[in-house]
């Protein structure tokens, strides 16, 4: 199982030097890939800019957006961004995760309609592949570059949760980005089984790529900081749900992170993203050491 790490894109006050140190430490470690999510509200950094900086400052790790909330954006613009990132990283954008998102205020801030996002993404995926295959989108307008390093562009992974959305994505996705906040084997295995069933029902010849992720922290006072991070992340859903989820997450020691890694591997993850709760460099160093010892 390949293991990557997510950048701390939601922390306020981070500087250029903070990120440079993260890029260097991640690239020097045993990590397979580096990722970043997308949020509009809050003190969040822009996913595209941050991953472009990571691509310029690293040479080894894969670069994976996790994920584009695709219906908030122009598909053509996303296609150009991803192809540009792929070229500037030296072909290290092998997968791109796309999803529907559930934050209507993020949509509103970008002046994108929240309603109809499911059907919109189906057509947007077609546009992405048109652009990456150097096919005209506007008749007579010519192709839209740059052409990605991989013919046809990176593989598309669906960030979907429920059976209906997974079944919908099975028509076009190359795999699934399954999420279990506490790294539980049953949750991940169930998501991958739904994907297998959906791919079969859709008549797909290939099996879906299996990417997973969970929250964790090996920073000092990690248990409390993990709780605070998850609560803040889910506060939009209301205090009851945020409290329930924050109390359910406990991967804040070496033993518990190792257990979650074993859970993910047993569930069939081909690749996994660790999502640290803090921006401390200790997260990178301690998680990297743990992976080396795990082998």
> What are the structural domain ranges in the chain?
2-294
List, edge to edge, every strand of the sheet that includes 95-99: 62-65, 33-36, 2-6, 271-276, 209-216, 175-179, 155-158, 95-99, 68-69
Whether residue 6 contacts residue 274, with contact meaning beta carbons closer than 8 Å, is answered with yes
Average pLDDT of span 183-188: 98
Average pLDDT of span 218-242: 94
Kindly report, residue by residue over 105-120, the tens digit of the pLDDT: 999 999 999 999 999 9
pLDDT(236) > 90: no
> Across the chain, what does the average pLDDT equal?
97
- Helices 254-267 & 185-201 angle (0-180, nearest 10): 20
Residue 295: predicted pLDDT: 87
Q: How far apart are the first and last CA of the chain?
A: 10
CATH topology of domain 2-294: TIM Barrel (3.20.20)
Buried b / exposed e along 157-192 (16+ C-beta atoms within 10 A):
bbbbbeeebbbbbbebbbbbbbbbbbbbbebbbebb
pLDDT tier at 243 (50, 70, 90 boundaries)? Answer: very high
Average pLDDT of span 258-281: 98
**Cα gap 262→267, rounded to integer Å:** 8
Residue 99: predicted pLDDT: 97
Phi-psi region of 87 (alpha: psi -120 to 50; beta: other; left: phi over 0): alpha
Whether residue 210 contacts residue 175, with contact meaning beta carbons closer than 8 Å, is answered with yes
pLDDT tier at 168 (50, 70, 90 boundaries)? Answer: very high
Average pLDDT of span 12-22: 97
Kindly report, residue by residue over 46-92, the tens digit of the pLDDT: 999 999 999 999 999 999 999 999 999 999 999 999 999 999 999 99
Q: Is the dihedral of CA 33, 39, 44, 48 positive or negative?
A: positive
Average pLDDT of span 157-184: 96
Residue 103: predicted pLDDT: 94
Average pLDDT of span 254-279: 98
The 3-class SS string of 3-54 reads: EEEECCCCCCCCCHHHHHHHHHHHHHCCCCEEEECCCCCCCCCCHHHHHHHH
pLDDT tier at 122 (50, 70, 90 boundaries)? Answer: very high
């Amino acid at each position: 199982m390949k293991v990557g790490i997510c950048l701390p894109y939601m922390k306020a006050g981070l500087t250029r030097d903070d990120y440079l140190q993260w890029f260097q430490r991640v690239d020097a470690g045993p990590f397979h890939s580096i990722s970043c999510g997308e949020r509009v509200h809050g003190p969040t950094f822009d996913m595209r800019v941050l991953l472009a900086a990571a691509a310029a400052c690293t040479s080894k790790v894969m670069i994976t957006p996790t994920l584009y909330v695709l219906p908030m954006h122009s598909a053509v613009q996303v296609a150009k961004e991803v192809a540009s990132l792929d070229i500037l990283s030296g072909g290290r954008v092998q997968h791109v995760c796309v999803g529907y998102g559930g934050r209507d205020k993020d949509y509103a801030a970008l002046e994108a309609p929240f309603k109809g996002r499911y059907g919109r993404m189906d057509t947007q995926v077609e546009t992405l592949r048109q652009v990456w295959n150097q096919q005209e989108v506007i008749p007579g307008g010519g192709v839209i570059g740059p052409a990605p390093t991989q013919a046809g562009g990176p593989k598309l992974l669906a960030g979907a949760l429920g059976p209906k959305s997974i079944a919908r994505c099975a028509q076009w996705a190359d795999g699934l980005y399954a999420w279990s906040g506490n790294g539980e084997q049953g949750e991940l295995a169930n998501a991958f089984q739904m994907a297998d069933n959906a791919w079969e029902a859709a008549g797909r010849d290939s099996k879906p790529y299996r990417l997973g992720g969970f929250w964790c922290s090996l920073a000092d006072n990690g248990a409390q900081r993990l709780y605070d991070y998850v609560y803040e992340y889910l506060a939009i859903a209301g205090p009851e749900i945020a409290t329930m989820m924050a109390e359910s997450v406990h991967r804040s020691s070496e033993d518990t992170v190792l257990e979650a890694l074993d859970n993910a591997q047993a569930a069939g993850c081909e690749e996994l993203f660790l999502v640290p709760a803090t921006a401390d460099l200790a997260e990178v160093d301690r998680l990297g050491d743990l992976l080396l010892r795990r082998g």
